[in-house]
Structures are given as C-alpha cells and as structure tokens.
Structure 1
Amino acid sequence: MYSSAYPHDPIEQLFPDVFWVHGSIRVGPGMRLNRNMIILREGKELTLINPVRLQEEALRELDALGQVARVVRLGDFHGLDDQYYVDRYQCLFWAQAGQSTYSSPEIDVLVDEASPGPVRDSLFFVYRNAIYPEAALLMKKHRLLITTDSLQYHRDWRYFSGFTRVVFKLLGFHRGMNIGGPWLKRVTPKGGSLQHDFERLIQLDFDALVGAHGQVLRMGAKAAVRAEVRHLYGYEEEA
C-alpha cells in the first residue's frame, strides 16, 4: 500500500539538469510539514533523491524530463515513497546498509564514501559516527550539497500547519541554517558526538544546499553550516 500524494509545488529547475519539488507530508493529526525531492538528469536518465510521491500531472512532467533510472535514499528516516517509484519505474534502489525505518525496497546498489555518485561529478559523504544511516550528495559542478535531515535551511514555514510550527520552534528550529536537532539526538551514539563528521563535511567545496525539509540556499551555505557547527559544539573553527 503506497502513501498518498500530498500537496506540492510544480517541478522547478535549480541548475542545469538539477530540479526540485517542494512539497508536504502529514505526519499526524494537525501536523503537516514540508519536504523536498531532488531530480538529477543525465542524458535521458533521471535520479530521484529523497523521493516524494507526485500528483498525476506532475508525474507526466517528470516523465517528460526523462526515464527514472534510480532512486537514492540519503537518510534512514526518509523512505516513505521509495517503493512507489521503484515499482512504477522498475528502477534501481541505492541506499546505505542497515536501513531500519523503511526496510524496503531491497537495496540494489550500496552507498558508501567509496561508491561512485549516481551521476557524473557527484560524490557521497557519509556520517560515519551516526548510529542510523545518513549521507549527503555533493554535486561538484554546481557546488550543491544535497542532504536529508542533517542540514536544513528554513526561509519560511510554508506547508507547515500552525501546530507543527510551534512544535518545530520548541525543538530549536529557526529561520536560516539548522542542524536537525531531533535527528542529531537520535543518531548520536550514547556518550559520542558527530562533531568530527561535521568537521569533515565543511571541508567539502559547496556553496548551495538543499535538504529534505526547508528551502534551497543558493549561496553562502558553507559559511552558514560552519556557523551552526561552531554554535552547536562551542568552538572556533578556522575558515
């Protein structure tokens, strides 16, 4: 049984051959929040990152862009619509080992930092110390970092219900760059830290960022992430 297609914006181009869909998900009574899907095109093939089920008209637009060849799950807590797309397009499913929140689809291609990215000039970053799988994908040509729950840029609260806005603010979310607090609490080992993972991440060459929630930050993303890492771990990191 597949999840419903929730309200979403039209497919929009971010960079040449990079598109996104800003949509929504209902997570409980009175609780709705936004979520995003990234679409990468290489030739006639499409790669879906953080899949979000589209409504029928948008599915036709997706098909007009190319043929869905692979679905990539970057975070263990996102996978609601993966099976829908794998079944619809009979495409390959990429993910890290150890998926627990959504145990299907069956993984066809294992993701790790030694894996080639799904398209040219891309590479995977893995949070090695997280106890649940979480990764990011760097599009080197566009200096775009694609994340899931770990890093989220919130410019506004569109698609959030009033109750969800209150809950998110109580959880520490704010306008601007956020390290996802609930995600961080859940994936950090007892007595451990993900500080080293974030220090490795800010060595990557990126300037734009889009997560599975929030909006796109087109410029200044690395500086914003660096500031959040400094704030979270209480130290000064040299530029």
Structure 2
Amino acid sequence: MYSPAFPHQDIQELFPDVFWVHGSVRVGPGMRLNRNMLILREGRELTLVNPIRLSDAGLVDLDALGDVARVVRLGDFHGADDQFYVDRYQCLFWAQAGQSNYPEPGIDVLVDEASPGPVKHSEFFVFHNARYPESALLLHRSRLLITTDSLQYHKEWTHFSPVSKLAFRFLGFHRGMNIGAPWLKRVTPKGGSMQHDFERLIELDFDALVGAHGQVLRMGAKAAVRTEVRNLFGLEAEI
C-alpha cells in the first residue's frame, strides 16, 4: 500500500532543467513537517531525487515536464514514496547498497562514488563513515548540492505543525544551515566521528544547496556548511 499524497506546493524551476517541489509529510499525531523533491530534466527524461508523492494534479504537471526515467534515493531514512513512482512509471531505481529502513523497491543501479551521476555533469558524494547509507548529488552546471537529512537549510518553518517546531528546536535545529542532529546521532559509528566525511564534502565545488527538508539556499551554501561543520565539531582552524 502506498503512502498518501500530503499537501505540497506546485512544481517550481530552480535552475535550467532543475525543478523542486516543497511539500509536507505527517510523521505522527500532531507532527507535520516539510519535505522536498528535486526533478532533473535531460531532454524528455526526468530523474526524481528524494521523491515525494504528488497529488493527482501534481502528477499531471510532472507528466507535462517529461517522462520519469529513474528514481534516486540519497538517504536510507527516506523512501516511503519510491515504490509508488517505480510502479507507476516502470522506471529504474538508484540507491546505495544496504538499504534497511525501506528495503523496497529492488535496486536497479547501485550508487557509489564510482557511479556516473543520473544526468550529465553530475556526481555522487558518499558518506563513507555513516552506519546507514547516505549520499549527496552534486550538479556541476548549477553548482547545486542535493542532500537528504545530512544537511538542511531552514529559513522558515513552512508546513511545520506547532508541535514539530518545538520538537525541532529541542533537537537543536536552528534557522540557517543545519547538520541534522537526529541523523548524525544514528549514523555516527560508536566511538567514531563523521568529521572527515564533512571535510571531504566541503572540498566539492557548490554554492547552492537543498536538502530533503527545509528550503533552498541559492548562494553561499558552501560557506554556511563550512561554518556549521566548524561549530559542530569544535574546530578552531579554517577548513
């Protein structure tokens, strides 16, 4: 049985052939928060990244953009709507090995740093030290980094219920760039650290960022991530 379609905004173009949907999800009684999907277009082919199920009207708009050819899952903790799209469009499913929270659909194309990106001029970044699969996708033409839970930019709290706002503040989320605290706690190896992964990520050439939650940061994302990494890991020197 598929998850329902929750309220979402219309498909909007971020960069040439890069679109996003700012939507929502209910995670428990009184708990609602936002969620984002990216749509990449190359010719007539569409790639859905961090999929969220669209309403019937949203699906009409999606079909008007092109033909869904692949679904890309970047994080193990997201994936509730992947099967819906794979079944609807009979498209390919891309993900890292070891998916546990949503073991279906079966993986057609394995994601790793040796894999070509799903569209031209793109590449995957993999968090090597994470206990659960997590990656990011860099689009070189737009210098856009697409993440899931690892990095989230929160400008405001659209689609958040009052209870969710309080919960997020309690968990340490703030306005601006965030390394997701619940995600970090779950993926950090016992006695280990994710610091090196974030130091590698900062070496990528990006200026914009959008995660599976929050809003789009169109400029200055790399500097914001650098500051968050330095603050979180207590680093004195510039990285």
- The TM-score normalised by the length of structure 2 is 0.99
Over 3 Å counting, the alpha-carbon distance change for 1:12 and 1:237 in structure 2 is farther
Give the secondary structure class of the aligned counterpart of 1:209.
strand
Give the residue type in structure 2 aligned to 1:49.
V
For 1:111-146, what per-residue CA distance to the aligned partner results, in whole angstroms no more than 9, with x for missing partners?
000000000000000000000000000000100000
Q: Distance in 2 between matches of 1:226 and 1:110?
A: 29
CA shift for structure 1 position 86: 0.1
Cross-structure match for 1:39: 39
Q: Distance in 2 between matches of 1:185 and 1:232?
A: 13
Cross-structure match for 1:120: 120
Q: Distance in 1 between matches of 2:16 and 2:219?
A: 16
Q: Distance in 1 between matches of 2:106 and 2:237?
A: 40
Cross-structure match for 2:155: 155
Cross-structure match for 2:216: 216
Q: Distance in 2 between matches of 1:234 and 1:192?
A: 15
Give the secondary structure class of the aligned counterpart of 1:216.
coil
Identity among equivalent pairs (%): 77
For 1:87-106, what per-residue CA distance to the aligned partner results, in whole angstroms no more than 9, with x for missing partners?
00000000000000000000
Cross-structure match for 2:62: 62
Q: Distance in 1 between matches of 2:143 and 2:90?
A: 30
Cross-structure match for 1:95: 95
Give the residue type in structure 2 aligned to 1:206.
F
Cross-structure match for 1:105: 105
Give the residue type in structure 1 aligned to 2:49.
I
- The TM-score normalised by the length of structure 1 is 0.99
Cross-structure match for 1:137: 137
For 1:160-203, what per-residue CA distance to the aligned partner results, in whole angstroms no more than 9, with x for missing partners?
00000000000000000000000000000000000000000000
Cross-structure match for 2:7: 7
Unaligned runs of 5+ residues in structure 2 are none
Cross-structure match for 1:82: 82
Runs ≥4 residues deviating over 4 A: none
CA RMSD of aligned residues (A): 0.6
